């Protein structure tokens, strides 16, 4: 499902980049992991295709050559041709694209990438590790537990009873690694817990279980490298019980309130916590930080950080910056500048290591 979301984000970014400043070189990645060349990728981008398929570029493929320092286009019967790139703006959401894998590949190839690096992407993707780091930094995190599939298979009844005793009901069960709310369930009764865990384990070998809070869902966007800035906060009013995949991408009835109708003190607290969370995970470039604000007590809890948020012009991350005074096109330009800034610094460090 995140493959389809990635293609929508890619179209949003490609068509909004300033043509006076940037030459866009589209690179499509198929569901099986194959990289297509620019010409094949452009045809997908300009079509109404919902997925990138290998049939779109059966005659050529891209490979990474760290020794060469970039990408090579391989075509049967012809010599390998370099694909010169200054910066990659990856919008590959979810597994493989948001978890440090693409970031590491591009670092080996010596190509700067927009957004977090290997470490920040990996820990941001893993909700268990991220929550542990947040707690280590003293950030407010709601009650939660994690579980591995092996523990669940060894003692289903015991694990189930311990979860309910520790967190109560309702609960939210989600894969530890994943995005776009794929594999997430709200558990209202203990009888619903086994199927929710099985669904989450179908997507990952480790799951996170969170206490269900009576809370508003509020998000804040962070932008920058060494001196990150936070946007205004925005509130999501989901069409269903929570902001699941259907609410995000299918029914179109959820509402985004930007800026969020919050007391000034709460809004300031969220912006400060967003920057602290960004720092806790060693992030750079961008991130969307998600919070819960209790409806009764008003307490703020950090939920999770998304290092590669949705990037259509109507997605929450660009909408938050638009409300803060940075247009979609200006935001894209700034993100590319931040990536180039990091690339220059990394090349200087590499030079010193080799000296």
Residues 55-88: tens digit of each pLDDT: 644 566 788 777 666 888 888 788 888 888 999 9
**300-306 sheet: strands from edge to edge:** 255-257, 229-237, 215-224, 285-294, 300-306
Residues 277, 204 share a domain: no
Determine the Cα–Cα distance for residues 245 and 150; give it in Å rounded to an integer: 27
Tokens of 54: 């290998």
In a domain, 126, yes or no: no
Give the pLDDT means over successive 10-residue stretches in the chain (355 positions).
Answer: 87 94 92 84 90 66 73 82 91 90 90 95 96 98 97 96 96 86 90 96 96 96 97 89 49 81 95 98 97 96 96 92 97 97 85 75
User: How many domains does the chain divide into?
Assistant: 3
Full-model pTM: 0.90
| Residue closest to 26 by CA, chosen among 18, 314, 35 | 35
What residue numbers bound the domain in which 197 lies? Answer: 143-211
Helix extents (H) in the chain:
2-16, 38-46, 101-109, 118-125, 127-136, 149-154, 156-167, 193-201, 245-249, 264-280, 316-324, 328-354
Shared-domain flag, residues 224 and 333:
yes
C-alpha closest to that of 276 among 331, 315, 228, 233: 228
69 sits in the region (left: phi over 0; alpha: psi -120 to 50; else beta) called: left
pLDDT tens by residue, 230-277: 999 999 998 656 544 444 444 456 799 999 999 989 999 999 999 999
Q: Are 191 and 219 found together in one domain?
A: no
According to the model, what pLDDT value does residue 245 have?
47
Here the CATH number for the domain that contains residue 12 is 3.40.50.20
152/131 Cα distance (integer angstroms): 21
Q: For residue 166, give the nearest of 114, 210, 105 by alpha carbon.
A: 210
- Flag whether 120 is in a domain: no
Domain match, 297 and 218 both: yes
Same domain, 12 and 73: yes
The enclosing domain of 257 has a CATH number of: 3.30.470.20
- 202 & 97 share domain: no
Query: Token pair for residue 307?
Result: 């290092």
- According to the model, what pLDDT value does residue 145 have? 97
Among the three residues 190, 211, 232, which one is the final residue of a domain in this structure?
A: 211
The predicted structure's pLDDT at residue 180: 58
């Amino acid at each position: 499902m995140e493959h389809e979301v990635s293609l929508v984000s890619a179209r949003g970014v490609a068509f909004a980049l300033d043509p006076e400043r940037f030459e866009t070189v589209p690179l499509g990645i198929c569901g099986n992991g194959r990289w297509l060349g620019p010409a094949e990728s452009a045809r997908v981008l300009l079509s109404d295709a919902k997925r990138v398929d290998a049939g779109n570029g059966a005659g050529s493929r891209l490979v990474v050559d760290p020794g060469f320092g970039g990408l090579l286009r391989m075509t049967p019967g012809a010599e390998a041709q370099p694909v010169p790139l200054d910066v990659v703006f990856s919008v590959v959401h979810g597994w493989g694209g948001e978890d440090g894998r693409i970031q590491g590949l591009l670092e080996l190839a010596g190509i700067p990438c927009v957004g977090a690096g290997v470490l920040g992407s990996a820990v941001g993707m893993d909700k268990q590790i991220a929550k542990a780091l947040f707690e280590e930094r003293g950030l407010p995190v709601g009650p939660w537990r994690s579980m591995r599939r092996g523990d669940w298979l060894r003692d289903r009844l015991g694990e189930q009873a311990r979860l309910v005793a520790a967190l109560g009901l309702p609960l939210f069960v989600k894969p530890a690694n994943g995005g776009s709310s794929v594999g997430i369930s709200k558990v209202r009764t203990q009888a619903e817990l086994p199927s929710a865990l099985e669904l989450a384990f179908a997507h990952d070998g480790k799951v996170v279980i969170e206490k269900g809070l009576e809370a508003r869902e509020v998000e804040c966007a962070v932008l920058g490298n060494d001196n990150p800035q936070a946007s205004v906060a925005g509130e999501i009013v989901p069409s269903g019980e929570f902001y699941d995949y259907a609410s995000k991408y299918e029914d179109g009835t959820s509402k985004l309130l930007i800026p969020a109708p919050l007391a000034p003190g709460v809004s300031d607290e969220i912006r400060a916590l967003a920057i602290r969370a960004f720092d806790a995970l060693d992030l750079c470039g961008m991130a969307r930080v998600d919070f819960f604000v209790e409806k009764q007590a008003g307490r703020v809890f950090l939920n999770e950080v998304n290092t590669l948020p949705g990037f259509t012009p109507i997605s929450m991350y660009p909408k938050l910056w638009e409300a803060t005074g940075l247009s979609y096109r200006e935001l894209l330009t700034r993100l590319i500048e931040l990536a180039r800034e990091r690339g220059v610094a990394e090349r200087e460090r590499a030079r010193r290591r080799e000296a």
